[in-house]
Amino acid sequence: MASDSPGPNAHPVRIEEQFSRQAKIFAEAPELHGEAALALLVEAAKPRSTDETLDVACGPGSVVVAMARHARHSIGLDATAAMLVEAQRLARAQAMPNVEWRQGDVYALPFDSDRFDIVTCRFAFHHFERPAAALQEMVRVCKREGCIVVCDAIASDSPRKAEAFNRMERLRDPSTVEFRPLEALLALFAGAGLPSPERRFFQVPAEREQMVKRSFPAGADYDGLRRVIDTSVDDDSMGLGARRCGDTVLFRYPSVILSTTKAG
């Protein structure tokens, strides 16, 4: 019988569609893949030369390559083949011999339990429908005394602003499930039985036209996306500190790196 409700695979299909289109342009964003942004994650994970690291939902692989400069071996896993093509290109360009790429799903990592010294995930939890299950899988494949790092943008503590931010993001990228406030991310760590994580806060700068150019909004509604960003200036309705600058709008994504140790 025909049904209008989304099937069980609707979300993975949205992920594949969005990130196949975004892969090349996402890989070129300097504010995400530049040295300064990557150094923050490396500082949180503290890779050593004997470590094996895993980055889940690795996208174009910049985190994996940054970790591999310090580690023995680094694996990146992602659901989207086009992202892994970008990752392979990056590893070739930087002549990194100690990296490996796997296509797969964060909810069923194709690795033995207690294998990796460090397991990271950056800017992907907002795409997960089951973030607790994703974190549990990361913990499973991490060694005892190993390091777990989750980095994502965070929504405002104001439910009204958080909802407005998420509405804009779902328009901009329909594979977004939800950006969560800090407390919700911390609750995931507690729920996974992990010690309270260290927190490092930073901001990812954004400019309206650059962002629109990199986006594939629902219904190709580029003007709608511009409008939502523009109107957020008046009362900071999304909690992104949007401000007019000439004929564009500047804003920033408040973000956090949470790092902790799996109990021994």
Ligand X SMILES: C[S@@+](CC[C@H](N)C(=O)[O-])C[C@H]1O[C@@H](n2cnc3c(N)ncnc32)[C@H](O)[C@@H]1O
Binding footprint of ligand X on the chain (CB under 6 A) = 15, 19, 32, 57-60, 62-63, 78-80, 83, 105-107, 122-124, 127
**d(Cα 192, Cα 159) in Å, to the nearest integer?**
24
Q: Shortest approach of ligand X to residue 80 CB, angstroms?
A: 3
H/E stretch holding 167 reads helix 159-172
What's the start-to-end Cα distance of the chain, in Å?
A: 51
Q: Shortest approach of ligand X to residue 111 CB, angstroms?
A: 13
43's tokens: 């500082």
Residue nearest ligand X, CB atom distance: 59
Contact 148, 54 (CB under 8 A): no
**d(Cα 115, Cα 118) in Å, to the nearest integer?**
9
H helices, E strands: number in the chain: 10, 8
Q: Shortest approach of ligand X to residue 70 CB, angstroms?
A: 18
Output 123 or 253, the one with its CB closest to ligand X.
Answer: 123
Output 177 or 228, the one with its CB closest to ligand X.
Answer: 177
Output 121 or 164, the one with its CB closest to ligand X.
Answer: 121
**d(Cα 124, Cα 128) in Å, to the nearest integer?**
7
Q: Shortest approach of ligand X to residue 105 CB, angstroms?
A: 4
Q: Shortest approach of ligand X to residue 20 CB, angstroms?
A: 9
229's tokens: 């960003």
Output 19 or 101, the one with its CB closest to ligand X.
Answer: 19
SS3 75: strand
Q: Shortest approach of ligand X to residue 237 CB, angstroms?
A: 23
Output 126 or 161, the one with its CB closest to ligand X.
Answer: 126
Closest listed residue to residue 73, CA positions, set 38, 101, 94 = 101
SS3 253: strand
Residues 6 or more apart in contact with residue 63 via CB below 8 angstroms: 38, 41, 55, 76, 120, 122
Output 151 or 237, the one with its CB closest to ligand X.
Answer: 151
Output 21 or 230, the one with its CB closest to ligand X.
Answer: 21
Q: Residue 57, Cα to own-chain centre: how many angstroms?
A: 7
Q: Shortest approach of ligand X to residue 34 CB, angstroms?
A: 11
